[in-house]
Structure 1
Amino acid sequence: MRAALYCRLSEEDRNKRTEKDDSESIQNQKSMLVRYAVEKQWDIYRIYSDDDYTGSDRNRPEFNKMLADAESGKFDVILCKTQSRFTRELELVEKYIHGLFPVWGVRFISIVDNADTENKGNKKSRQINGLVNEWYLEDMSDNIKSVLTDKRKKGMHIGAFALYGYKKDPNQKGHLIIDEEAAEIVREVFLLFSKGYGKTAIARSLNERGIPNPTEYKRLKGLRYRQPKDENSTLWKYYTIADMLNNEIYIGNMVQGKYGSVSYKSKKNRPRPRAQWYVVEGTHEPIIERELWDKVQAIIGHHAKPFKGGTLGLFAKKAVCANCGYTMRSSKSHEKYYLKCPTRYVLKKACEGAFISVEKLEETVLLEINALIAQYMDEEYIKKNMDMDSPLLPRKKKLESRIQAYINRKEEYSRALKQLYLDKAKNWMTEEQYLEFTQGFEADKKKMERLIQVSRKELDEVIEKLSDTAHKEQAVDPCRSLEKLDRQMVEELIDFISIGKRDQITGILPIEIHWSF
C-alpha cells in the first residue's frame, strides 16, 4: 500500500515558532500519520502539507496537488488526523470521499474520528462528521461577522493592513496612527490633483521617481502582504490614485464594509451600497486637511461626466488586461467609447496592454449570452429546433473577412519576393541580404497559406451547418431576443472578462468571459 499523508493547519490554531518553520501542530500531525503508516507497514508516497489554510478553502495548493495525484493513481490510501483536516465542507466529503475516491481506487482514513472508506458501516458517521463540520463553519462565520460588525460600529480598524499613509497603533488595538513616510506621498497626490494634474500624470510622475506603490511599500516594510506576481505590480496606476482621492479615512473618518462576502464558503467579495458601509467620524488623526479635501472632491465632481446612453460603467471593473491583469479604463474618441489597459500610460516600456471598443465587447458578450440561452433551453426543444452551436451568420462573415485578409497579406509577400529578385538582378543587394530577406518573406507567406487553409476548413463547416439549420432560424429567433446589455445584467452574469492584445498577423483579439454562475 502506498500512503499519502495530508496535514493542514488553519489560521485559528496556528502556533508557529518562526515564520519559516512548520507549525507545531503540523509537526504533530506528521508524526502521528507517519507512525500510523509505519505500523501498518505502508510505504509513504508523499506528505502533503497546507499551512495557514482553513478547511473551507478549496484553493489549498497541496490539497489540490494531492487530489490530482490521487486521480493519477499515484497512491492507494489518504491518511489524515481527522476528517475536518481534509475538508469541513459536506459537499467535498460527498464529492471525493464517497464519490471519486472509490472510482479512483483510493481509500480514505482519518485516524482520530475513525473514518475509513473500507468500512462501509461508518459511512453515516462520516456524513454526520461532514454535517457537523459544515455547521461549525457556518456558526464560526456568523460569530466572526458579529464581532467584526460590533468593532466596525465602534470605529475600530479591523483590517489585516492599515491604509497606505497609516500604520497600526502598537499601543491601542484598532487605532491608526500616521506613517509619515507614506503620508508625505498622500499629501503630494492630493496637492498635485488640486493644482490640475490628472490622475494618470500623477501616477506617471511617482513611477518615474521610483516611488513604490502601496502594495510594494507594504512588502518593503516587511509586512506579509500577498503581492501580485507580475512585473508591473509595483507601479502606481490610475485607479490607485482615484481610490486614494476618494477615501475618507485620510480626513480622520473610519470607513469600512465597502465590500461583503458572497457566503462563508467563498472568498469572493461584492460591492455594498454606501448605506450599508460603517462610517465613524474622527477616529484618528487626519492626513489631509478638510479644506484641501473639499477642493479635491469639488474637482472630481466637476470632472465626472456620464457617457451618453449610459455606456459609462457598463463593464466597469469587469474588463481586465490578459497581459498584466489590471482593470481596463474607459475612454472616448471620435464619439466612440473604448476600454484600454492603463499600465502602458503610467510608465514607459510597461505592458503594451489590451484595447477594445465598448461596442465590440458588448456585441461579443451578447453573442455568448444568446448562445448560452440556446444551449440551456429545454432539451427536447433543442433536439427538435436548435442544433446550432453558435450564431452562424456572424461567424461566416468573420471567417470570410479573415480569409480575404490572409489572401491580401499573402499577395503582399509574393510581390515583395518578386521585387527582391529584381533588386538582386540589378545588383542593388548582396546574395546574403537577398537570402536573408527571402527566407523571412517565404516563411510569412507559408504561414498565411496555413491560416487560409485552416480558416477555409472552418468556413466549410459553418456553411454546412447553415444549410442544415436555415429552416430552424424562425424557431430560434425568439430565444435570441436579448439585443442590449445593461449594468445589472453585467453585474449579475459576469465575474470578469479577460482581454488580450490583437494579433498583428491574424487580427484576432482574444476575449475570455468568466461567468459568475
Structure 2
Amino acid sequence: MNETYKVALYCRLSEEDKKKAKKGDDSESIKNQKELLLRYCEIKNLTVYDIYADDDYSGSDRGRPDFNRMIKDAKERKFDMILAKTQARFARDSSLIQELLYDKFLEWNIHFKTIVDNIDTSSIGTKKSSQIIAMSDEWYLEDLSRNIRTVFENKKIQGHHIGSFAVYGYQKDPEQKGHLIIDKEASEVVKQIFYLYAQGYGKTNIARILNEKGIPNPSEYKRQKGLRYKHSGGYTGTLWKYFSIDNILHNEMYIGNMVQNKQCNISYKNSKKKQIPKSDWIIVEGTHEPIIDLELWNTVQKKLKQKFKSFGDGKIGLFAYKVKCMNCHSSLRSSKNHGKHYLKCETRFFHKEACPGAFISTEKLEKEIIKQLKKLSEELNSEDIEKGISLNDNLLQRIKKLENEINKNKKEIKKTDDYLKQLYLDKLNGTLSEYEYKKFSHDFQTERENKNEAIKEGKDKIKELTKRLKNADERKEIVNRYLNVEKLDRTMVEILIDTIYVGTNDRKNKIQPIKIEWNF
C-alpha cells in the first residue's frame, strides 16, 4: 500500500437491524460504522476515496443504490480496496459473495476486507470462513423472511392493513395502526366512478370524463399529497386509464372488506412481485367504513360480468341484457330507426317457425315500467301487500325457477361425466386417437365448468332472493324511493329490475304482454 492506494468504505443498515437493536445501542448504526471504518483507515494511513452507505436495505437486496454505485466504481478501478465492518454489512447473499469477492474483484484487482470478522481476499485462508459466514447469513435471512411473512399473514387474517400505502379512496388511520379511514376527496371520485358505470358509461369513457375534469389518477394523487409513490412519469403517467377504472370497480375494499395477499415477492432474495391466485387472497369483511353501499356494488358487479355494447356515446342501452323474448327467452337486441331505439327478438329471423318474435320501443317499455312501479307502490301500502302476499309469490316463483335450472344443470353435469368416462375407455381400446380424446374431453370439461358456474350463480341468486323474501320493509323502501320518477336511468334499472319478458304485440287487440321480475 502507498499514498495512491485508495479505499472505498461501505456501510449498510436494514430495517431488521433497527428493530433488533437495543434502546441506546447504536453499534449497528450507519454513523458508528462510518466512525469505525474511518478510524481504521486513519490508523493504517489509508486514503479514503468515498463512503458508500445504504440505509434501510436488506443484505440480500441487489438493488441497493449506493452498493451498485460502488460496484460500478470498482469495475472502473476508481479505488483499490473495499472496506466494511463485517461481511454481512456488505452482503448476505452467498451467490453474490462468491460472484464478487472471488470472481469479479479478482478480475478488477479489487481488495476486499472486513474489520470485525477478518475477511480478507488477499489471504487464501479466509475464503472458507467467508463462504461459511455467507451461508450462515443467508440462512438467517431465509428464517427472518419466513418469520416476518408469518407475522404479516396473521395480521392480514385479523384484518389489519399491511402495506406502505392505503388503497385510493382511503388513508391510514393516524390513531389506530392497521386501520383505514375514508379520504373524503378521493372517495368522492370513487363514488363517481361507480355511479357513472352503473348508469351505463364505459370504463374508457369514465377515464376520459375524469381526465377532462383534471382529476389526477391514484398514483399522481398520492404524489400530490406528499407520499413517496412512484408512477410511470410524464404527462400520461398522471392520467386515468381503462385499467385503473377496472381495478377500482372490482375492488372489495370499497364495501368495507380488507383484501390483501394479492401478490408477493418471488423470493426473499428477489423483490420482484408475482401475482397470487384469487383463491389464496386474504379477505376479511367489515374492517373499515365502506365508500360504496352493497346495492350499488351488486349492481356494478352484475354489470361487469356482462359484455355491453355502447351506442357510440360511451353509454350502453337503458335495458341492455335485461329484456328477453317471452316466447323463446332469447335476449332482445337493440336497434335504431329514425333516432328512436327499439328492442327486438332476432330468433324469428333464423326461421319463420322458430319464434313469433317480440318487438318494442324502449320509450314504450320505459313508460310501462314506471306505470307498473307506481301500481306496485300503491299495493305495497295496502294490508295484503304489507304481509308480502303478491311480492312473495313473485319471489317464490323465481326461486322455484332457479332451483329447476340448478337441478337441470346437475343432471347435465352427470351426463357429461359419463361421456368423459366413455371417452377415456374409447381411448384405451383404440377407438379414439389421443388427439381426438383431448379435443372431445376438452369440450366436455369446458361445458362442465360452465354448468358448475351456472349452478353457483343460481345458488347465490336463491340466497339473495330468500333474504329479500324475509324483509318486506326493505322492499317497500326500495319501491317508494323511486315512486315519483318520470324517467329511468341505467342505475335505476339495475337496482329495480332483474329481468323483463316481452311478448308478441297483438296489434289487433292492442295488447302486448310484459312481465317484470323485480329485484325485490
TM-score interval, normalised by the smaller of the two chains: 0.5 to 0.7
SS at match of 1:63: helix
Residue of structure 2 in register with 1:32 after alignment: 36
- Distance in structure 1 (CA, Å) of the matches to 2:123 and 2:234: 48
Could you list the per-position Cα deviations for residues 388-414 of structure 1 after superposition, in whole angstroms to 9, with x for gaps in the alignment?
Answer: xxxxxxxxxxxxxxxxxxxxxxxxxxx
The alpha-carbon deviation at position 253 of structure 1 amounts to: 0.8
For 2:287, what is the secondary structure of its paired residue?
coil
2:124 is aligned to 120
- Determine the structure 2 residue equivalent to 1:254: 258
Residue 268 (structure 2) aligns with:
264
Within the candidate set 63, 69, 72, 2:67 is matched to: 63
Deviation at 1:228, TM superposition (A): 3.5
1-side partners of 2:15 and 2:144: how far apart? Answer: 13
Aligned counterparts, 1:312-327, within 5 A:
none
For the pair 1:4 / 2:8, whether they are aligned, the reply is yes
Q: Please give the alpha-carbon distance, in whole angstroms, between the structure 2 residues aligned to 1:193 and 1:173.
A: 33
Instruction: List gaps (5 residues or longer) in structure 1.
Output: 16-22, 306-517
On the 8 A contact 2:119/2:126 being kept in 1, the answer is yes
**Structure 1's 184 and 57: CA in aligned 2 closer, same or farther, altered over 3 A?**
same
C-alpha deviation, 1:184, in angstroms: 0.6
Q: How does 1:321-340 map to 2 (within 5 A)?
A: none
| Distance in structure 2 (CA, Å) of the matches to 1:295 and 1:162 | 25
Amino acid at match of 1:141: S
- Is residue 204 from structure 1 mapped to residue 183 from structure 2 by the alignment? no
1:106 aligns with 2:106: no
Pick aligned residue for 1:217 from 204, 216, 221:
221
The structure with the larger Rg is 2
What is the one-letter code of the residue matched to 2:130? Answer: R
| Residue 146 (structure 1) aligned to one of 150, 175, 178 | 150
Counterpart among 214, 234, 241 of residue 230 in structure 1: 234
* Deviation for aligned residue 1:255: 0.9
How high is the sequence identity, in percent, across the aligned residues? 56
Cross-structure match for 1:173: 177
- Secondary structure of the 1:282 match is coil
1:177 to partner: Cα distance: 1.2
Aligned counterpart, 1:90: 94
Deviations 1:444-463 (A, max 9, x none): xxxxxxxxxxxxxxxxxxxx
Q: Distance in 1 between matches of 2:209 and 2:283?
A: 32
SS in 2 for 1:204: helix
Displacement of 1:145: 0.8
| 2:186 partner letter | A
- Secondary structure, in 3 states, of the residue corresponding to 2:236? coil
Question: Aligned equivalents of 2:10 and 2:212: distance in 1?
Answer: 48
Once residues 241 and 24 of structure 1 are traced to their aligned partners in structure 2, the CA distance between those partners, rounded to angstroms, is 45
- 2:198 pairs, out of 191, 194, 200, with 194
3-state SS in 2 of match to 1:44: strand
SS across alignment from 1:218: helix
Give the AA of the match of 2:96: L
What is the CA deviation profile of residues 200-242 of structure 1, one whole-angstrom value per residue up to 9, with x for unaligned ones?
1111221222212111111222222234343322211111110
DSSP-derived class of the 1:115 partner: coil
SS in 1 for 2:171: strand
- What amino acid is the match of 1:187? K
User: Structure 1's 116 and 193: CA in aligned 2 closer, same or farther, altered over 3 A?
Assistant: same
Deviations along 1:175-198, whole A, 9 cap, x unmatched?
111111111110011001111111
Residues 462-488 of structure 1: per-residue CA shift (max 9 Å, x gap)? xxxxxxxxxxxxxxxxxxxxxxxxxxx
C-alpha separation in 2, matches of 1:273 and 1:223: 29
Amino acid at match of 2:89: R
Secondary structure in structure 2 of the residue aligned to 1:201: helix
Partners of 1:7 and 1:102 in 2: how far apart? Answer: 22
Q: 1:81 to 1:150 in 2, by over 3 A?
A: same
Alpha-carbon distance, 1:14 to partner: 4.9
Give the structure-2-normalised TM-score: 0.55
Q: CA deviation at 1:73?
A: 1.5
In structure 2, distance between residues paired with 1:37 and 1:130: 25
CA deviation map 1:344-385 (0-9, x unaligned): xxxxxxxxxxxxxxxxxxxxxxxxxxxxxxxxxxxxxxxxxx
- Determine which of 299, 305, 311 is the counterpart of 1:301: 305
- Structure 2 SS opposite 1:116: coil
Q: Deviation per CA, 1:86-125: give whole Å up to 9, x if none.
A: 1110001111112221221111011121111122212111
User: Which AA in structure 1 matches 2:125?
Assistant: G
> 2:410 matched to which residue of 1?
none
Residues 29 and 226 of structure 1, relative CA distance in 2, 3 Å threshold: farther
Name the SS of the counterpart of 1:217 in structure 2: helix
RMSD (Å) for aligned C-alpha atoms: 1.9
Cα distance in 2 for residues equivalent to 1:49 and 1:231: 33
Q: Offset at 1:278?
A: 0.6
The one-letter code sitting in structure 1 at the alignment partner of 2:269 is K
Query: Which structure 2 residue ranges, 5 or more long, are not aligned?
Result: 20-26, 310-520
* 1:299-378 map, 5 Å: 299-303=303-307
1:377 aligned residue: none
Q: Deviations over 1:107-162 (max 9, x none)?
A: 10111211111222121111111011101110011001100111111111111111
Matched, 1:75 2:79: yes
Q: C-alpha distance in 2, partners of 1:66/1:34? A: 17
Partner SS, residue 225 of structure 1: coil
